[in-house]
Amino acid sequence: MPTDDLDLSGQVALVTGGSRGIGRAIALRLSQAGAYVAINYSADDQAAKRTLLDLERGGGQGELQKFPVENFAKVQDAIKEFSKRKGRLDILVNNAGISRDQVLARMKPEDWHRVLAVNLTGAFYCCRAAARVMVRRRYGRIIVISSIIGRIGRAGQANYAASKAGLEAMTRSLALELAGRQITVNAVAPGYIETEMTLALPPKVRQEILDHIPSGRAGTAEDVAGVVLFLASGLSAYLTGQTLHLNGGLYFG
Amino acid sequence: MDIKERVIQLIIEHLELAPADVVPEAHFIDDLGISSMDLWELVLVMEDEFGLEVPDEDLEKIGTIQDAINFITAHAEEK
Ligand SMILES: NC(=O)c1ccc[n+]([C@@H]2O[C@H](COP(=O)([O-])OP(=O)(O)OC[C@H]3O[C@@H](n4cnc5c(N)ncnc54)[C@H](OP(=O)(O)O)[C@@H]3O)[C@@H](O)[C@H]2O)c1
């Protein structure tokens, strides 16, 4: 059962989009804390295998779970099979996310729908399937990876911003529904984190962002993983429905 | 114990209700005053207890204790 420290020994976690970037760091961090970690992804097998290998090299245990989070039937089947086999599911980290940036004039309906489907609807599907297991056991930790953009917005990211703001709103509602079952639901909203997603930005835009960060540096995936570990642990039992802003002082919520 | 008794026993224990209130005609939400979240949890617990699965569509059909007994009887027989 949950302890009052950061130890996750004996617990079972699922990290969506856990193969690369922030999700990868979260998977490794939860594993180091003792959890058995399922690493979800949808396309890049090589990256996923590398992450699992690194996790095992670090002395951890886990597995790969390949499914697109936006496919309800696949999400349900995978989470059901996984949690039955492991006998539990304590921690769900909804991290899988994509961006399809375009200014309004050029944003196609499919760009809009795709981002909403993966980022927002996908997280809802995973929450729904995981809650079945957590409600039974009257314990759970659900963590959603939002973004500073969900609050401050950014030109060219209407779809992405809407998906993240939606996630934070969903977080609050689910927190209320599940609080009586000792299941907490919280969001982490990172600012600028150096990953493949952000390295894809034009260098000029990246430099501009960096110039505005009070901490004087970009965040790392490990910075996010540390906060997620706290939210996944027994230490955060009374914290629910919140969005924690993690941005080096760029924005205070 | 037959299915009916087991279901009633489970409801009494799980929802901590007075046995006198837990009669087949009782409606979970209207009569017993339990929340839809309690009902969902109860269904999940019954799934484990009886080794069956309640599809989402059928969850809505469970209003009274008798509905639950009927559902479980029908599906337990299938096995
Ligand atoms: N980087 C930042 O500065 C930043 C800031 C704020 C918030 N965030 C958020 O943090 C999260 C992770 O971002 P990141 O920068 O680490 O991204 P990333 O490096 O692009 O990694 C995305 C991960 O999600 C998986 N994925 C993508 N589509 C998926 C789908 N449909 N189903 C399941 N998995 C899928 C990817 O694996 P496959 O490609 O194999 O599917 C990969 O593991 C996202 O939610 C993002 O919005 C990032």
For chain B, the domain total comes to 1
- Compute the count of residue pairs across chains A and B with CB atoms less than 8 Å apart: 14
Check residue A132 and report its DSSP letter.
H
CA nearest to B40, candidates A135, A17, A150, A247: A135
Residue of minimum CA distance from atom 30 in ligand 1: A68
Rounded Cα gap, residues A121 and A127, in angstroms: 10
| Separation of alpha carbons A106 and A119, rounded Å | 20
- CATH (domain of B22): 1.10.1200.10
Q: How far is CA B21 from the centre of its chain?
A: 14
C-alpha separations of A61 from A8, A12, A38, A43, A134 in Å: 12, 10, 9, 22, 21
Provide the residue range defining the domain that includes B66: 3-75
A181 at the B interface (CB within 8 A)?
yes
- The whole-number average pLDDT for the span A34-40 is 98
Confidence of residue A3 (pLDDT cuts 50, 70, 90): low
pLDDT tens, residue by residue, A151-170: 999 999 999 999 999 999 99
Of A196 and A32, the structure prediction assigns the larger pLDDT to: A32
* pLDDT greater than 90 at residue B76: no
* CA nearest to A174 within chain B: B37
Q: Out of A132, A136, A180, whose CB is closest to B37?
A: A180
Say what the pLDDT of residue B77 is.
61
| Overall pTM > 0.90 | yes
ipTM rounded to 2 decimals: 0.86
Say yes or no for a CB contact (<8 Å) between B41 and A136.
yes
DSSP states of A4-42: SSS--TT-EEEETT-SSHHHHHHHHHHHHTT-EEEEEES
Closest chain B residue to the Cα of A133, Cα to Cα: B44
Residues of B with Cβ-Cβ distance to A174 under 8 angstroms: none
Q: For chain A, give the percent of residues with pLDDT over 70.
A: 98
B58 membership: H or E segment, kind and range: helix B56-59
- Tell me chain B's radius of gyration from C-alpha atoms: 11
Strand blocks (E) in chain A: 12-15, 36-41, 61-66, 91-94, 140-145, 183-190, 243-246
B44/A181 touch (CB, cutoff 8 Å), yes or no: no
Q: Alpha carbon B54 to chain centroid distance?
A: 11
Nearest residue of chain A to residue B39 (CA atoms): A135
Ligand 1: centre distance to CA A194 (Å):
12
pLDDT at B79 over 90: no
Measured between alpha carbons, how far is B24 from B42 in angstroms, rounded to an integer? 15
Instruction: Give the model confidence (pLDDT) of A69-95 as tens digits.
Output: 999 999 999 999 999 999 999 999 999
Closest among A8, A5, A45, A51 to A27, alpha carbons compared: A51
How far away is chain B from the Cα of A42, in angstroms, using its nearest Cα? 26
